[in-house]
Structure 1
Amino acid sequence: MTRPRKFDLIVFDWDGTLFDSTALITRCIQAACADLGTAVPSDRDASYVIGMGLAEALQHAAPGLARERYPELGQRYRHHYIARQHEVVLFDGTVAMLRSLKARHHWLGVATGKSRRGLDEALSSVQLKGVFDATRTADETASKPDPQMLLELMREFGVEPERTLMVGDTTHDLQLAANAATAFVAVSYGAHEPEAFDAFAPLHLAHSMADLNAWLTRHA
């Protein structure tokens, strides 16, 4: 007998959760700061902002830069990222996990700090267009940890918070889920150190894509 679903809607963060892009984003933020002659953030500080919308992320990563220069910083970040985005791939096992969830008739979503253009390009590059039932990006709704992304996705499918699960690699993702009153699972292989998740008490802390897949198979 097939086990009943606990969650109807499963929403994933993108960078650092499904897409192995943490290191590249960190390096591109640092390179953009160097280009403008402002203080280059440490790896920890640069990776901390992953998951935020680009404008908020750059302001946090380069607090000493004059406000009027943030658009220029964003342009330099995009320049470096576009030049190297072909190097980034999905975490091994991601496609199999998503197919398994689709086979169990879960609705799948993405809530990301990327722009709409950036997410669409990434989905096309890894041939996942059409796999997700709905997605939200930081330039079309409120940025994390504001709950608007999740609230919109739940409203689109008529799913209640108790039937929704958020999966992410940052405290921004977990705070987003907490603000939307949904359950959440964290992964330790992304942008934030796993110790940062302790205060949120996620249902599970996955240490690999295989671990995440196994937990979702048993509990989602």
Structure 2
Amino acid sequence: MTSRDYKLLIFDWDGTVMDSVSHIVHCIKLAAAEMGLEILPDERIKGIIGLGLTEAIDALYPGRGSAFHRELADRYRDHYLPPGPSPTPLFDGARETLETLRGAGYRLAVATGKGRSGLDRVLDETGLRPLFQATRTSDVTRSKPDPLMLHQILEELETGVSDALMIGDTEWDLVMAANAGMDALGVTYGVHDAERLVRHHPVGCIDAITELPAWLGCSGAAC
């Protein structure tokens, strides 16, 4: 398959569309401090971005019970969800890139480790909701790298797996796509670097979201 043959582009959110990695790390540290937990290094926290929140907490602070997971998750959301004076930014050119791809006839979707309330908030804050035909979050399906959210998106949009491309910045995105039998494109400007991404055999990697139309063979609003 050439890159021109894809009909559906499925995006991860944090670290792929939105430049939110530092905000996530900061909020996890605040929540951990409130509970008197060890404050982990930034790189270790970054490594779990992309997983569902419960799975991420268990990876950072293993061996705790469900009550611990709920409390830390609630404290994290208390810090992350309230709108601040400066909304979390999109990556440079993300909005224009998504608009170009929709104009070129691609269908767009989101498959994210965020919770539904968090994704709904940022879709509304950014005004990007109309661009996406389907969205899945880890709290309404299963966390990456389980492929269920991809299967659900394909079923909802009546699209074959060979017509879809998963786009993400973490190995969780690429492994999820592989588990679904779907091609994946890595982006190197988010959480995981190119060396870590290529271990999972993506069909390619890009260094900025603005490179995506050219990688797909699009020029302006036409392909």
TM-score (norm 2): 0.90
Match of 1:19, SS? coil
Aligned to 2:11: 12
CA contact 2:4–2:217 (8 Å) conserved in 1: no
Query: Once the 2 structures are TM-superposed, how far is the Cα of residue 30 of structure 1 from its aligned partner?
Result: 1.6
Query: Once the 2 structures are TM-superposed, how far is the Cα of residue 4 of structure 1 from its aligned partner?
Result: 9.6
Q: Using the alignment, how far apart are the partners of 1:213 and 1:84 within structure 2? A: 31
Aligned to 1:97: 97
Query: Once the 2 structures are TM-superposed, how far is the Cα of residue 214 of structure 1 from its aligned partner?
Result: 2.4
Could you tell me which runs of 5 or more consecutive residues in structure 1 were left unpaired when the two chains were aligned.
Answer: none
Q: Using the alignment, how far apart are the partners of 1:187 and 1:5 within structure 2? A: 18
Could you tell me which runs of 5 or more consecutive residues in structure 2 were left unpaired when the two chains were aligned.
Answer: none
Match of 2:14, SS? coil
Aligned to 1:215: 215
Q: Using the alignment, how far apart are the partners of 2:100 and 2:134 within structure 1? A: 18
Query: Does the C-alpha gap of structure 1 residues 55 and 4 become closer, same or farther in structure 2, counting only changes over 3 Å?
Result: closer
CA contact 2:81–2:118 (8 Å) conserved in 1: no
Query: Does the C-alpha gap of structure 1 residues 17 and 206 become closer, same or farther in structure 2, counting only changes over 3 Å?
Result: same
In the TM superposition, what are the counterparts of 1:120-159 in structure 2 within 5 Å?
120-159=120-159
Aligned to 1:54: 53
Match of 1:158, SS? coil
Q: Using the alignment, how far apart are the partners of 2:65 and 2:35 within structure 1? A: 11
| Pair 1:43-2:42 in alignment | yes
Match of 2:108, SS? strand
Match of 1:87, SS? coil
Q: Answer with 32-41 or 170-179: which moved more.
A: 32-41
Aligned to 1:77: 76
| Pair 1:63-2:62 in alignment | yes
Query: Does the C-alpha gap of structure 1 residues 152 and 66 become closer, same or farther in structure 2, counting only changes over 3 Å?
Result: closer
Aligned to 1:21: 20
TM-score (norm 1): 0.92
Q: Using the alignment, how far apart are the partners of 1:28 and 1:64 within structure 2? A: 21
AA aligned to 1:153 is: I
AA aligned to 1:170 is: T
CA contact 1:187–1:212 (8 Å) conserved in 2: no
Report % sequence identity. 39
